Structure 1
Amino acid sequence: MKHDQLCAIGHNLADSMASGLGFVIGYHSMDVFGEAASSPDGFIEVDFLNGRIAQGTASDSLEAAAARFGEVFPEFCRKNGAEATDFKALSVIFDATALDRRVLLLVTDRNGDSSTTEYTGIPLKRLRVLDSLGRIRRTPRQVGLTD
């Protein structure tokens, strides 16, 4: 499975949680950005692979939603032409300030290739920047290799 396709799967899961509706897991109302803003850490990191809150303080309801995302993860991957084993890591950091809602998607595939993609707003969209020729382009994905 191509890394970009794995990133698209991660984006869809993150967008479902960010929307506050959680349709991927069946309707589950949640306010991940509100909880991130009130968390002592200032953000919440969700590990979709293991279905848990990795960092930050979350309500029991959000923890239950994260667990449910972990349960449906293998089937969601299959529906999107991948296998859960194609991922080595898949986590999302939800960060909310008074001015913006920001999401960092962290994907590592089974080959060890990793990337970080930043999104804002609801629905989640990549940031846009001007390139050297003055054209509007999506912010590039940050690519790196893990140890």
Structure 2
Amino acid sequence: MKHDRLCAIGHNLADSMASGLGFVIGYYPMDVFGEAAFSPMGAIEVDFLNGHILRGEASDSLQAAAAHYAEALPEFCRANGADPADFENLSATFDSTALERRVVLKVTDRRGRSSTTEYAGVPLKRLRVLDSLGRIRTTPRRAGLAS
């Protein structure tokens, strides 16, 4: 499976959670950004593969939502032409300030290729920057090897 396709699947899962509606797991209202803002760490990191909150303090409802995402992952992957075994890591860190909502998506595939992509707003959109010629471009993914 191409790494970019796995990143797209991760984006869709994170966007579903960020929307507050959780349509990937059925209708499941949640406020991940609100909970992140009040978490002592200022962020909540969700492991979509195992259905756990890795960082931050989350309500029982949000912890249950994370578990539901892990349960829905195999079917969601199949519907998008992938297999959950294609992922070694799939997590998203949600953080919220008074000015914006941000998500950092981390994807590592089974070949060890990893990438980190930053998104802002709801729906999640890649951040934009000016290139050397003054044109607006999406921020490139930060790529690397899994450690």
Q: How far apart are the structure 1 equivalents of 2:86 and 2:78? A: 11
**Equivalent position SS for 2:4:** helix
Please report how far the alpha carbon of residue 52 of structure 1 lies from its aligned counterpart in structure 2 after TM superposition. Answer: 1.1
Summarize deviations over 1:7-48 as a string: whole Å, max 9, x none.
000000000000000000000000000000000111000000
Whether 2:90 is the aligned partner of 1:90: answer yes
Shift of 1:118: 0.1
Unpaired stretches in structure 1, ≥5 consecutive residues:
none
> Normalising by structure 2, what TM-score?
0.99
- Which 4+ residue blocks in structure 1 deviate beyond 4 angstroms? none
- 2: CA distance, partners of 1:73 / 1:7: 14
Per the alignment, residue 74 of structure 1 pairs with 74
Amino acid at match of 2:64: A
Q: What is the distance in 2 between the residues matched to 1:73 and 1:52?
A: 13
> Whole-Å Cα distance in 1 between the matches of residues 137 and 73 of structure 2?
31
Is 2:134 the counterpart of 1:141?
Answer: no
Across the aligned residues of Structure 1 and Structure 2, the Cα RMSD in angstroms comes to: 0.5
CA distance in 2, matches of 1:133, 1:40: 41
AA aligned to 2:34 is G
CA offsets per residue over residues 38-89 of structure 1, 9 Å max, x none? 0011100000000111111000000000000000001100000000000000
Separation of aligned partners in 1, 2:58 and 2:26: 20
**CA shift digits 1:65-123 (9 cap, x unpaired):** 00000000011000000000000000000010111100000000000000000000000
Q: Distance between the aligned counterparts of 1:55 and 1:70, measured in 2?
A: 17
Q: How far is the alpha carbon of 1:146 from its aligned partner?
A: 1.3
**Sequence identity (%):** 75
1:21 maps to a residue whose letter is L
| TM-score normalised by structure 1 residue count | 0.99
Q: Name the structure 1 match of 2:52.
A: 52
Answer yes or no: is 1:24 the counterpart of 2:16: no
